[in-house]
């Protein structure tokens, strides 16, 4: 009982100061900052899973742009405690806010106006793993601990078979330090506006928010201050084209190498159009069609249009992986 009390008090002592927000997005190693992030009104959590705020957070508003992403590419979500702070000297989410990191996507007609009421499918999770040297759940490995280890960054694969078009991407961290009682779990989420390019046609099965979570779910109503023999990440299984990370594993990819100010960045002046590249007679010939402004026009494995619409030029934003009409 003593160890539980100490752990619980330690968690509560950091409660107010350790709130956090997913703020930035990297696309195949290119830093887009917060341009396509629907930043919430504050860094406070949502605690009511039956509220519509569980979709994209309370007080969030449409972002000014949509980030272009190729199906099969990798986005890197980035979390920090304070708005605009990207320093690795501070924990991404502190105060012993241990729990899973989960990412969903939702196909929408226009990411700049969608309200999150359409269906969501899970594309990523980093949950829990037993620490053989630990005694209680606080000592175990968690997705949020991986966020802290990787300077707030988490790599997320975009399924290669997704149909092109607009999507919302919902990044979420669930803090379980006060989850021993109903309504105690804390949900921190941000929605990003994406335009996905590619030639896939998949339409994964979906769940709804609210509806996907119940306050009584074993991954939501749980005491992590006692010993855990297992943990069930809330929500559906990860879609087959998605990915998982084992809690406690090393930072890899952009998590490890992407640093603010020392790599490629991209500036979006307005939201890209929802339409994909328009083919002209001779379809299948990259030289016989035109990619709209902000659409992909080149990169490793790319077979689509290489000519850009008038007023834009095909520019390498993440060479050799991704080129875009800018």
Query: Residues 27-44: what's their mean pLDDT?
Result: 96
Q: What is the pLDDT of residue 318?
A: 58
Query: Residues 249-273: what's their mean pLDDT?
Result: 87
Residue 6 reports pLDDT greater than 70:
no
Residue 273 reports pLDDT greater than 80:
no
What percentage of the chain has pLDDT greater than the value 90?
Answer: 75
The tens digit of pLDDT for each residue in 67-94 reads 999 999 999 999 999 988 999 999 999 9
Residue 10 reports pLDDT greater than 90:
no
Answering whether pTM is above 0.75, one says yes
SS3 187: strand
Structure confidence at residue 168 as a pLDDT band (50, 70, 90): very high
Mean pLDDT of the residues in the chain: 87
- List 298's β-bridge partners, or say none: 323
Q: What is the pLDDT of residue 218?
A: 98
Query: Residues 279-295: what's their mean pLDDT?
Result: 45
Give 190's contacts (C-beta < 8 A, 6+ positions apart): 21, 22, 23, 37, 38, 39, 40, 56, 57, 60, 77, 170, 171
What is d(CA 321, CA 326) in angstroms, rounded to the nearest whole number? 16
Residue 304 reports pLDDT greater than 70:
no
User: In this structure, what are the phi and psi dihedrals at residue 311, rounded to the nearest 5 degrees?
Assistant: 95, 0
Q: What is the pLDDT of residue 272?
A: 47
| Kind plus residue range of the DSSP H or E element containing 59 | none
Residue 17 reports pLDDT greater than 70:
no
Q: Between these two residues, 181 and 1, which has the higher pLDDT value?
A: 181
The tens digit of pLDDT for each residue in 100-146 reads 999 999 999 999 999 999 999 999 999 999 999 999 999 999 999 99
Tokens of 222: 């749980």
CB 83: neighbour CB atoms within 10 A? 12
What is d(CA 209, CA 125) in angstroms, rounded to the nearest whole number? 17
Query: Residues 49-69: what's their mean pLDDT?
Result: 96
Token pair 């709130």 in the structure block, residue = 19
Residue 321 reports pLDDT greater than 70:
no
Residue 313 reports pLDDT greater than 60:
yes
Q: What is the pLDDT of residue 217?
A: 98
Residue 309 reports pLDDT greater than 50:
yes
């Amino acid at each position: 009982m003593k160890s539980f009390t100490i752990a619980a008090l330690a968690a509560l002592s950091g409660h107010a100061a350790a709130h956090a927000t997913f703020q930035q997005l990297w696309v195949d190693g290119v830093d887009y900052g917060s341009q396509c992030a629907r930043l919430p009104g504050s860094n406070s959590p949502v605690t009511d899973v039956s509220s519509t705020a569980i979709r994209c957070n309370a007080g969030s508003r449409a972002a000014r742009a949509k980030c272009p992403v190729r199906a099969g590419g990798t986005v890197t979500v980035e979390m920090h405690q304070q708005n605009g702070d990207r320093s690795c000297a501070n924990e991404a989410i502190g105060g012993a806010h241990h729990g899973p990191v989960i990412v969903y996507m939702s196909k929408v007609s226009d990411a700049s106006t969608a309200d999150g009421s359409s269906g969501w499918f899970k594309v990523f999770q980093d949950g829990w793993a037993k620490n053989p040297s630990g005694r209680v759940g606080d000592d175990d490995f968690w997705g949020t601990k991986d966020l802290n280890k990787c300077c707030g960054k988490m790599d997320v694969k975009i399924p290669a078979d997704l149909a092109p078009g607009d999507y919302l991407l919902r990044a979420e961290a669930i803090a379980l330090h006060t989850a021993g009682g109903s309504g105690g779990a804390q949900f921190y989420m941000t929605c990003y506006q994406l335009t996905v390019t590619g030639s896939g046609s998949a339409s994964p099965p979906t769940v709804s928010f609210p509806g996907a979570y119940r306050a009584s779910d074993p991954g939501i109503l749980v005491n992590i201050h006692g010993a855990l023999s297992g943990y069930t990440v809330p929500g559906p299984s990860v879609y087959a084209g998605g990915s998982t990370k084992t809690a406690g594993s090393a930072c890899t990819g952009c998590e490890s190498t992407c640093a603010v100010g020392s790599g490629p960045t991209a500036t979006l002046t307005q939201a890209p159009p929802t339409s994909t590249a328009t083919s002209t007679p001779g379809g299948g010939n990259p030289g016989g069609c035109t990619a709209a402004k902000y659409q992909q026009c080149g990169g490793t494995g790319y077979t689509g249009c290489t000519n850009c619409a008038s007023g834009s030029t095909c520019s390498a934003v993440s060479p050799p992986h991704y080129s875009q009409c800018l």
